Amino acid sequence: MSTYAIGDIQGCYKEFKKLLKEIKFNKNKDTLWLAGDLVNRGPNSLDVIKYIMDLDSKAISVLGNHDFYLLASYFKAAPWPYQKNNFEDILSNKNCDEIINWLRHRKIVFEDSKLGYILVHAGIYPKWGIKEILSMASLIEEKLRGEECKDFIETLWSNNPLTWNKNLSIKEKMVFSTNVFTRMRYLRKENLSLEFETKICPDDNKSDSILPWYDFDSDIYNRYKIITGHWSTLGFKETKNVISIDTGCVWKNKLTAIKILKNRKVVKYDIQC
């Protein structure tokens, strides 16, 4: 009975299956955590999502920005540029409605308080406490499952607001939070605002005005170890409080899994893509 986490698969079904074989994943006993971006760019989004749907409660998947592109495409949500994607295999499948319905019931943030982990696609804002995180996540999850799903997704095509404050409207708070959970990489030092332009690895970053989100002081980063995907140029990185596991499978780099042990220790596995 082991728990594994896998980063951004992005439709790379062949590589996903190869990695499951490598870790000897037993779907009757083991649990799989998926850090989001199951679909898009790679060739077999449908096969990836069907396999994970079949795992049922043995898989816990949080939504990534590419999963949102799929929802936006399904609903033809404006002004998302949904035409440029690569998941036609899902949209043209006879079970598309069922797949989208399943996707709309995935989490944005998964907390395992017993093991002391948070699973989220991009990251957690340094100023938030666990109550704020879980209440924002459940508001977003509720919107995705409800009748206003399309309207809600249309509001998400926005970089604003860039900074958090308690006086934002609930709509603004949901846009900001979704951007934190699914798109964030860097924050500006001066006011902790989101900076979306820079995507390079922090080792190559020359700007003094920004830092990776996980480098800011935060109570929440001390309380939990946070597992994320999303940042392929960062690659595998483990600190005391963060494990980044998107190792660029879709860019022909690696697909990575970690086995979650007690005391916040992990074992890393990867395959060449």
Cα–Cα distance, 105 to 6 (Å, whole number): 19
Contacting residue, 65, 177, 179, 256, with Mn ion by CB under 5 A: 65
Q: How far is the CB of 190 from Mn ion (least distance, A)?
A: 26
Q: Is 134 buried (19+), middle (13-18) or exposed (0-12) by CB count in 10 A?
A: middle
The 181-220 contact track toward Mn ion, x by CB under 5 A, reads: ----------------------------------------
DSSP 8-state symbol, 158: -
Using CB under 5 A as the binding criterion, the count of chain residues that bind Mn ion stands at 4
Which residues, in sequence order, are CB contacts of 66 under 8 Å at separation 6+? 8, 10, 36, 37, 38, 39, 40, 41, 85
Cα–Cα distance, 170 to 131 (Å, whole number): 16
Q: Is 230 in the site for Mn ion (CB under 5 A)?
A: yes
End-to-end CA separation in angstroms for the chain: 27
Binding range to Mn ion, per CB under 5 A, among 13-21, 40-48, 88-96, 226-234: 226-234
DSSP 8-state symbol, 273: -
Q: Is 42 in the site for Mn ion (CB under 5 A)?
A: no
Q: Is 67 in the site for Mn ion (CB under 5 A)?
A: no
Q: By the 8 A CB rule, do 168 and 176 touch? A: yes
Binding range to Mn ion, per CB under 5 A, among 46-54, 103-111, 227-235, 251-259: 227-235
Tell me the CA distances in angstroms from 234 to 46, 156, 248, 267, one per residue in order.
27, 25, 9, 19
Q: Is 64 in the site for Mn ion (CB under 5 A)?
A: yes
Q: Is 244 in the site for Mn ion (CB under 5 A)?
A: no
Contacting residue, 15, 30, 37, 89, with Mn ion by CB under 5 A: 37
Q: How far is the CB of 152 from Mn ion (least distance, A)?
A: 19
Q: How far is the CB of 235 from Mn ion (least distance, A)?
A: 14
The binding site for Mn ion (CB under 5 A) comprises 37, 64-65, 230
